[in-house]
Structure 1
Amino acid sequence: MVIYSSIMRKLAAILFADMTGYTQLVQENEGLARDKRKKLKEVMEVKVRDFHGEVLQYYGDGCLVIFPSATESVLCAIEIQQQLRKEPEVPVRIGIHTGDVSIEDDAIYGEGVNLASRIETLAVPGGIFISEKVYDEIHNKGNIRTMALGYFELKHVKEPVRIYAVVNDGIAVPGRDAMKGKIAPPRNRLAVLPFVNMSADPENEYFSDGITEELLNALTRVKGLQVTSRTSAFAFKGRNHDIRDIALQLNVDKVLEGSVRKSGNKVRITAQLINAADGYHIWSENYDRNLTDIFEVQDEISGIIANRLRENLDVSPKEGTHRAPVQNLTAYTFYLKGLHFWNRLTPPDIRKSIDYFQEAILMDPGYAQAHAMVAAAHSYLGATGQMQPEKAFRIVHEYADKAIALNGEIAEGYCAKAAAYLLHDWNWKKAKEFLDKSLSLNPIYGEAFELLAYYYICVDNKQAAVNVMEEAISHDPLSISVLQSLGNMYLMAERYTEAMEQAEKLLEISPQLRIAIELKGWALGMQGDWLAALEQFTRYQQLTHHPLKGMMGLGYAHARLGNHKEALECIRKMELRAREEPDTVLDADLAAVWFGLGDNDKAFHHLNLCVDKKLGPINYILQYPAYLPIRTDPRYEALMGRMPAIETAG
């Protein structure tokens, strides 16, 4: 073992290996035990060296090894296990995790070491178990195959840890039964899957989706029950997945599913609550009702589920959060159609959702939720440059205020109001207060988490921004928006490898997803590979299917590569688009490309226009790592001085 005289810290892939049954074998056949231990050490020495690892410590019948990369650690583990299967076979468990290692004299410690050790104890003889962090780095390697095992509660680890098994040839793979007693699924975490539209008219899809959302919203108000966010649950819409596999992916122990059949003024709702571990139906029921009774049915179903869970946990409705039923069924129908388009999250669909929400308000002027969604939709348009910010956020304030006045228990109203304070008014304290209120009403509201992370970037607390989005992922692990926002926070924190991992996860969900391609481009560029970044930004621009859109990343990459002519052509196209689409604000994009070209005069001209037009907070825009060198320009302080002083809440 190598002796170190001072503390050395490094990020490494940590491998623990341990021979099973060694103590008993010593008692039965000491010579054979000694031969097997010798073989283990010989194989470890050769294979670890082949994959550039380092054996830090041998202990009894096992060892601790570190590697410079997760890929090398897993490939090494595979070859070790394949060698150890040959006679005399040596049964060894291997666990791998990536994390920080601290080495001081003969002591080796760190959270990463502890977690790798815990994972090894879960493994089966001849098997290789890896953490989710290792999986994120190796899952797209064609020569490594894995299988998700689920979430495990490990000793001295606060949160359940998701574990994968390597399933290459020659590696022992545990069956589901072998893991019983080791898997500790979280209690009272529920996923509400999209209710299936059983109506003859496919146009009623909006209605079944709306019923699902209303049930989900009702269940988030149940104290002691953790509900997976809508976006992750809806990722399984139209797919025939095993309930147990869905539960593994969403980290839940119970699933609510059902169907809706609507015909005229009649509706039949079928709902069933399933225990994810064994597929057992805890409860199921059919409801035949008039549409006028739909709100009572939703409350009845959520109440029954709460009662079914009461035996395991103190589950009860939160006080003061019951939404009064909508009196006008036509208004409710318009509202559900609005939600259907809102959830598509494209500018044309957002505009269409506004039309439906406003129709709902015409039918029922007291419909608080519809007012809140009009505010949320205009916040989206104003924040993305699809509408002049001054006009958009004036509407946001108007409708959010009305929603809150009508019903002060609606998370969406407070979130939209917070967006206006944060993105347009630049009132940091008020933004934080309203975001806190929104999350107190709906603790899994993804939009509020994303805005809260945005807030922390504005007040220069990047670690808090990352923490917020990592919490959001725990509620909404398959949300495209949340995954992308976490990737952006990693970019802001200059954690480019992790930003790349988020981009790859998004591309697994949708290989043509533009926001994922853009994120990957920035992650590559900020790691110094602007040529690879240019390829991504070129692909991103092509997917806009518009000759003038998607130019900012493309222009910046050209500028960094010294392709001045191409970068200037991107600027020309952006300026042309600004003239053709006067409601579109492109000054932040233009500033970035001019800065990439080294023309700080033009960059500051456009950055000041961003402040004039109130296009998002400059103290957010300039946190992108690509802008870091601009802080040495004396005009930077003057620009930042145009923003309100940082005044935080709480």
Structure 2
Amino acid sequence: MRQLAAILFADMTGYTALMQENEQLARHKRQRLKEVLETTIARFNGKILQYYGDGSLSIFHSAIDSVHAAIDIQQQLQQAPQVDLRIGIHTGDVIIEEESIYGDGVNLASRIESLAVPGGVFVSEKVYDEVRNQQHIQTRELGYFELKNIKQPIRVFAIANNGIVVPGRNEVRGKTAAPVNRLAVLPFVNMSADPENEYFSDGITEELLNTLTRVDGLQVTSRTSAFAFKGKNDDIRDIAIQLNVDKILEGSVRKAGNRVRITAQLINAADGFHIWSETYDRKLDDIFEVQDEISGIIANKLKENLSGGQKQVPSIKSSIKNITAYTHYLKGLHFKNKLTPADNRKAIDCFKQAIALEPGYAQAYAMVAQTYATLGAMGQMIPHTAFEIAHQYADKALELDDSVAEGHIAKAMPNLFYEWKWQEAYKALQKAIELNPAETTAYDLLGFYYIAMAQKDQAVKTLEEAEQIDPLSPAIIKSLGTMYIFEERFDDAIRQAEKLLEMNPEMRSGIEMKAWAIGMKGDWQTALELFKEVHRLTNHPLKGLMGLGVAYSRVGMTDKAMECVHKLEQRQQEEPDSVVDGDLAAVWLGLGDLDKVFYYLNECIDKRMGPVACFIEYPPYKIVKADPRFHDLKHRMGI
């Protein structure tokens, strides 16, 4: 029988040694442990399935019950005669046959228990998500750990209630894999009197990131996550836990007249120890040459300290010379990372201003191409117009510098979302990752390639890898949640949505993802309320209507669903540059009119609305896949 369960492993420590010293006391403690486990686990609606050696395996229907039981057990065992016990808890799918239990969830719970310390209770991120808002359960994050036979690093939390032992991360041992050099470069602090020099300090950070991603044996956290800590004074150890790194590079920049002083320090995250620190004083005849020089010096120092190698790391020469152009470029990135159509248009303006001042700016051309492609893919511009412009700018970026990963990504986007040249898109994305393994936009697009190819498990793996590299990127968090929806892992998708809503409680993409996941789980009434909030936040009567229309249709409010259809049709007339055929297909699918669904899906294909290849893989489209006309749709897209 397969079921979702909270799995609790408990293991007594020091029993064998105690048997050799005092057999009677050892047996007494073991008997006491058994009595406490049996009475407490039953009281919290759990069941002991197995005893093994000095330990036990129990299951609960509720993660909250399992944690309350663990707290109670540890608090009881603090009383004399004290019993040292490690507890680990995880929730997951398990298969139970008679009194035996199987599944990946069991293996993971066992690994988490092996990490725990005597008197401690360690839980997985899934358990944490269930108990985080419980008033009587306190937690402390310990960060990510690489566990044997577990592919992805696992985020672990310690229960921190009274009487429960909470170790520091450096105290945690267990079945962990060999550590890997992981580095975050925090934004260098502008110590100059002129706030305009902020762009110089950001530029130093950018150049370092560009160089360090090319150091063999070093994994560098992406820009988005590192820059999330700009202007904050978080403890280095807490930052390291959030970014899943073991080393942090930070620094400051002070510019005065024709002189610049840059201080940089490499810090060991576990204990805050400074591995090295240096100050560089230079003349500022050319701001970008200084950046190139400093990034090269620091990269070689890192190579020496982190990898033990003596090979020099060549600096990545900047292709730009104009500080004003660079300022516009950084502003463009700022708007692009906000993800909304309006901000995308602001980003394009900034990137074009950079190009006007610096015609050889390959990265700026690439970003114009990417942003137009995004607008085309979102239906915010006529795809033909958006992707033709994207092609032109991408080609120019690659002509100027084909070693820039962003250019290959820019070229992949029209091939993926407009031309449907699947293999060309795939090759371009692989090239981008080869050039810059920290460029998570490439992983994001690769995930959608795998969805179009109906390889959903590969899409999830790709985005999970991206989240390890860039754990605080809203775009990556959102895309991984979307992949979970494709794979019908709705609870995991809800957890991703909650991460977005922690960043911003009014983030539309977070509310929308949560609504889809809850609706597809079967609770369309709750989903409807969330979609109403999405529509409110768009602040436009004709926008944000697709989810609302689907939810109305699912709860039987056909008149309201038809109102959404009419408003979408009205928007199509008032905004001819917008493409809403995909939205109309979704609402008609909710209403059960397959003829209309196929009409609008074919319209999407006629208008080259790229994401149609992906969204027809959503779980509600299963009924469409069963129709003979579906094969023709796939054929028209070259799949």
* Pairs aligned (count): 638
User: Which amino acid in 2 is paired with 1:242?
Assistant: D
Match of 1:558 in 2: 552
| Pairing 1:176-575 to 2, within 5 Å after superposition | 178-179=171-172, 186-262=179-255, 267-281=260-274, 282-290=276-284, 292-313=286-307, 322-323=316-317, 325-575=319-569
State the Cα RMSD in Å.
Answer: 2.7
Q: Deviations over 1:577-619 (max 9, x none)?
A: 2222221111111111122112223222222211111112433
Match of 1:53 in 2: 46
Query: Aligned to 1:173, which of 140, 163, 166?
Result: 166
**Residue 475 (structure 1) shift:** 0.3
CA spacing shift, 1:291–1:540, aligned 2, 3 Å: farther
Match of 2:113 in 1: 120
Q: Which runs of 5+ in 1 are unaligned?
A: 1-7
Q: Deviations over 1:536-576 (max 9, x none)?
A: 11111111122221111011101000001111122222222
User: Which amino acid in 1 is paired with 2:232?
Assistant: R
Output the CA distance in 1 between the equivalents of 2:177 and 2:457.
Answer: 30
Match of 1:129 in 2: 122
Output the CA distance in 1 between the equivalents of 2:457 and 2:611.
Answer: 19
Q: TM-score, normalised by structure 1?
A: 0.91
Output the CA distance in 1 between the equivalents of 2:374 and 2:297.
Answer: 34
**Residue 520 (structure 1) shift:** 0.4
SS in 1 for 2:561: helix
**Residue 127 (structure 1) shift:** 1.3
Output the CA distance in 2 between the equivalents of 1:262 and 1:90.
Answer: 60
CA spacing shift, 1:102–1:314, aligned 2, 3 Å: farther
Equivalent residues of 2:319, 2:361 under 8 A apart? no
CA spacing shift, 1:160–1:325, aligned 2, 3 Å: same
SS in 2 for 1:236: coil
SS in 2 for 1:310: helix
Equivalent residues of 1:209, 1:340 under 8 A apart? no
Query: Aligned to 1:598, which of 592, 595, 598?
Result: 592
Q: TM-score, normalised by structure 2?
A: 0.93
Output the CA distance in 1 between the equivalents of 2:516 and 2:174.
Answer: 44
Match of 1:3 in 2: none
Residue 85, structure 1, aligned to residue 78, structure 2: yes
**321-330 or 577-586, larger mean C-alpha shift:** 321-330
Equivalent residues of 1:132, 1:164 under 8 A apart? yes
Output the CA distance in 1 between the equivalents of 2:88 and 2:380.
Answer: 49
User: Which amino acid in 2 is paired with 1:621?
Assistant: F
Q: Deviations over 1:21-45 (max 9, x none)?
A: 3234334443333332222112212
User: Which amino acid in 2 is paired with 1:240?
Assistant: N
Q: Which runs of 5+ in 2 are unaligned?
A: none
Query: Aligned to 2:59, which of 47, 60, 66?
Result: 66
**395-404 or 579-588, larger mean C-alpha shift:** 579-588
Equivalent residues of 1:150, 1:183 under 8 A apart? no
**323-332 or 446-455, larger mean C-alpha shift:** 323-332
Output the CA distance in 2 between the equivalents of 1:178 and 1:18.
Answer: 18
**456-465 or 373-382, larger mean C-alpha shift:** 373-382
Equivalent residues of 2:260, 2:282 under 8 A apart? yes
CA spacing shift, 1:511–1:438, aligned 2, 3 Å: same
Equivalent residues of 2:181, 2:218 under 8 A apart? yes
Equivalent residues of 2:549, 2:560 under 8 A apart? yes
User: Which amino acid in 1 is paired with 2:128?
Assistant: Y
Identical-residue share of aligned pairs (%)? 58
SS in 1 for 2:542: coil
Q: Deviations over 1:325-369 (max 9, x none)?
A: 424444434433433333333333322332232233233322222
SS in 1 for 2:603: helix
Q: Deviations over 1:149-192 (max 9, x none)?
A: 23344445455433221112232222466448998894421111
Q: Deviations over 1:212-232 (max 9, x none)?
A: 223212211222211001111
